[in-house]
Amino acid sequence: METTEEIEKTEQSNDQPMDSTSGISSNLEKPENGSARKGSATKSKKRKKTIKDHTAPRQPLTGYIRFLNDRRDTVRNENPNLPFAEITKLLAGEWMNLPTDEKQQYLDAAEQDRERYLQELSAYKKTEAYRLFTQKQANRKQKEESQEDEIPEKEPENLFTGFDIPIFTEDFLDHNKAREAELRQLRKSNTDYEQQNA
């Protein structure tokens, strides 16, 4: 939890825009509701949902993840006000400074878990459930590819609007020459008039 002084400081700093030379945008450029800008120029590609096989063996945990899982509750109890990201940063620092013999315990457990996973996976690949899952994946992939083929991409209608004007035709060039001659005549009369009035 932030104290009232910290909240007041952040509110005061949010009221004033940051220096534009620092390369950091000011708070005035952010949307009022705090969400990302709506209607951006580029559309992001939708992330395809991957099919999860719930009958497959559980993937092994790394030594680092095992360490995080063991220590997270104790660090959270020691620092109840810290957000999850800060707790993870603290634990990452602990992992980096952890002696190799203690770290090796987690790495050994991770290696055993990896061996267990490989054995279960090889046994699972021989089952009917795995065959059905791979068949389901292949069907979904075919369906997605056929949908992509069916939907033609819209071609922009006015792609070359500036380039299809016939500017180098004889009529256009003659018109420009006549106009240029008129402009020259006007400039000449204008300079003559300015010299008379000067």
- Lowest mean pLDDT of 61-75, 115-129, 155-169, name the range: 155-169
Spatial distance between the Cα atoms of 165 and 171, rounded to a whole number of angstroms? 13
pLDDT confidence bin for 8, thresholds 50/70/90:
low
In 3-state terms the chain splits into helix, strand, coil percentages (rounded to 5) of 65, 0, 35
**According to DSSP H, which parts of 125-198 are helical?**
128-150, 170-197
The whole-number pLDDT of residue 145 equals 82
pLDDT confidence bin for 190, thresholds 50/70/90:
very high
Architecture of domain 63-150: Orthogonal Bundle (1.10)
Residue 26 has pLDDT above 60, yes or no: no
What does the pLDDT look like over 27-62, one tens digit per residue?
A: 444 444 444 455 555 666 777 777 788 888 899 999
The whole-number pLDDT of residue 77 equals 93
- Lowest mean pLDDT of 52-56, 94-98, 184-188, name the range: 52-56
Answer for the pair 72, 91: CB distance below 8 angstroms, yes or no: yes
What does the pLDDT look like over 108-128, one tens digit per residue?
A: 999 999 999 999 999 999 988
Q: pTM to 2 decimals? A: 0.49
The whole-number pLDDT of residue 108 equals 95
